[in-house]
Amino acid sequence: MEDFWAGAFWALKIWLYLIISLIMVPAMFGFSLGISETYMTILVKTLEWATLKIQRAHADEQTLKASSSNGLIQREDGSMEKELEELRRSRPKPPVGGDFTLSDCFYFSRRGIESIVEDEVTQRFTSEELVSWNLLTRTNNYFHYISLRLTLVYGLGIFVRYCILAPLRIKSWLSEWVHVICYRICARGLSAAIRYHNRENKPKKGGICVANHTSPIDIVILCNDGGYAMVGQVHGGLMGVIQRAMVRSCPHIWFERAEMRDRHLVTKRLTDHVNDKTKLPILIFPEGTCVNNTSVMMFKKGSFEIGATIYPVAIKYDPKFGDAFWNSSKYSMVNYLLRMMTSWALVCNVWYLPAMHQQEGEDAVQFANRVKSAIAHQGGLIDLQWDGGLKRAKVKETFKEQEQKKYSSMVVGDDSSSNSDG
C-alpha cells in the first residue's frame, strides 16, 4: 500500500511539473510551445486512421456511403400505389381496379412498424449519426467491435479526454473563483483587515467600477470581494510578468503606451467589453496615478464617455498601521511590496456607492466630477480639481495663460481706477 501511495504521489508530482513548465510558464511570458498545433495534428491523423480501419473492416457495407439515410431502416423510395401494385402481383389472381385485398394490410403494417422504430421526424432531434467513428462514442449503430488495436485507441481517448482535457477546461470555468481565492491569499499575507460597506451596491457585469487610487494593492482590496477586469498600461519588469499571466485567464484590457494616446481605440475596447454582459465589470482608477490617501484628484473623462453604468467605490486606508501610498517616483514595485509586507497591518474601509448614470445635458467631464465628489464625500477625502499627472508633467500652458490673464486684468483694473482718482 505504501508503494502505491508513493507511486501516486510521484505521478502527481510529475503531472504538476508538466503543467507548470508546459502551460503556466509559457502563459506568463506570452510565448507558445506549439503544443496545441501538435495536438490538433495528432488528433486529425488518429481520426483518419480510425476511419480507414473501419472502412477496411466493413468494405461491403452500404452504410459507409456519405448519405443522410444512415439509419436502422433501409426504406424504399417508391410511392404507395407502386408498392401496393407490386404486392398484389404476387397473388395468383390480381384484383381488378380498386378492389381491396388482404395483402394490402402487409404494406400498412410494415410502414407503421418502420415509423415506430425510426420515424423521419423524431430522428431530426437526436444527434446526427456519423458515417465514420470520431473516437468519442459509438456514433454509428453498425460499428461495435472492429479490432483490439482500435479498442485500445478508444480507451486511450477516454483517458485523454477525462483525465487531461477536462481538468484543463474546468480551469476556465473556475477562473473567477480562483482569482478571488488568490487575491484573498494575498490580502491575508499582508495582514489586511478590510471592512466592506453597502455590499448591495457591488459592481455588476456590464458596468464600470471607478475608485480612488492610493496603491497597487487597491486591486487586491477590491478583488478580495469579487472579480474584476483590469484596465491599464503595459508595464515591464515584475508588473509585466504579472499582467501577462493575468490576461491569459481573464479578459483584462492592457494598452501599450502609444495606444493610450489613441482615445478612439481606448473607447472602442472599453465599449466592446461593457456591451458583453457576460464579462466581469471593468475596474478603473480614473486619477491615473496613486494619491497619498488624503485627497481625490481629477478624474480622466475617458471611462465616462461610453455611456456605461458607473459603480463608484471609495477606499480609505488607516495610516496608523502602515502607509499604503505608493510613491512610484521614490520606490520601485519590489521595494514598495517589501515595505508593505514588513508593515504592521493593512487596515482599510471600502464603501460601495449606488450606481450612477450620466444625466441628460451632462457632459463627460461634469459626470466625472460628480462621481469624484461622491467618492470624496463618502471616504472623507479632499476633493481636488488638479490633474494627478502634474507630479510628472509640467503645467499646461493654457493654465499659465489663464492665471496671467487674471493677474493682468487685476493690474489693468488698478491702473484705471488710480488714473480716474487723479
Q: For residue 287, give the CATH number of its domain.
A: 3.40.1130
The pLDDT assigned to 145 comes to 61
Cβ(344)–Cβ(321) below 8 Å: yes
| 228 found inside a domain | yes
In a domain, 267, yes or no: yes
Q: Which residue has the cell 471616504?
A: 379
Single-letter residue type at 299: F
Residue ranges in the chain whose pLDDT is less than 70: 1, 23-24, 26-32, 36, 40, 54-55, 57-81, 84-85, 87-104, 106-107, 115-146, 168-169, 171-174, 248-249, 257-261, 393, 395, 407, 411, 413-422
Contacts of 205 (CB under 8 A, 6+ apart): 277, 278, 279, 280, 281
Residues facing residue 265 across a β-bridge: none
Beta strands 253-255 and 208-211: pairing type?
unpaired
Specify whether the CB–CB gap between 316 and 218 falls below 8 A: no
Helix/strand/coil (H/E/C) assignment for every residue in 355-404: CECCCCCCCHHHHHHHHHHHHHHHHCCEECCCCHHHHCCCCCHHHHHHHH
Q: What is the pTM of this model?
A: 0.57
Instruction: Write down the pLDDT at residue 11.
Output: 80
Q: Which domain holds residue 289?
A: 176-390
The three cell numbers locating residue 248? 491569459
SS3 52: helix
- pLDDT given at position 261: 67
Residues found in the chain: 422
Helix axes 175-189, 166-173, angle to 10 degrees: 70
Query: 151: Cβ–Cβ under 8 A, 6 or more apart, which residues?
Result: 145
In-domain check, residue 383: yes
Q: How far apart are CA 66 and CA 132, in angstroms?
A: 9
Q: Please tell me the distance from the alpha carbon of residue 376 to that of residue 197, in angstroms, as a whole number.
A: 15
To the nearest whole number, what is the mean pLDDT of the chain?
76
Q: Is residue 210 part of a domain?
A: yes
Residue 49 located in a structural domain: no
pLDDT, position 418: 45
pLDDT confidence of residue 90: 64
Residue 70 pLDDT = 45
d(CA 381, CA 365): 20
Compute how many other C-beta atoms are within 10 angstroms of the C-beta atom of residue 300.
18
Residue 56 C-alpha from the chain's centroid: 45
Domain count for the chain: 1
Q: Note the pLDDT of residue 51.
A: 74
In 3-state terms the chain splits into helix, strand, coil percentages (rounded to 5) of 50, 10, 40
Residue at 20 is within a domain: no
Distance of CA 135 to the CA centre of its chain: 30
Q: Residue 192: which H helix or E strand, with range? A: strand 192-197
Q: Is residue 313 part of a domain?
A: yes
Supply the pLDDT for residue 422. 45
Predicted pLDDT of residue 242: 74
Instruction: Report yes or no on 133 lying in a domain.
Output: no
Retrieve residue 3's grid coordinates: 508503494
223 half-sphere exposure, CB direction, 13 A CA radius: 28
- Residue 162 backbone phi and psi in degrees, to 5: -90, -30
CB 116 within 8 A of CB 109: no
Which H helix or E strand runs over 51? helix 35-57
Burial 205-219 (b: 16+ CB within 10 A, else e): ebbbbbbbbbbbbbb
Tell me how far apart the 2 most distant CA atoms of the chain are, in Å. 144
Other C-beta atoms within 10 Å of 263: how many?
A: 11
pLDDT for res 95: 54
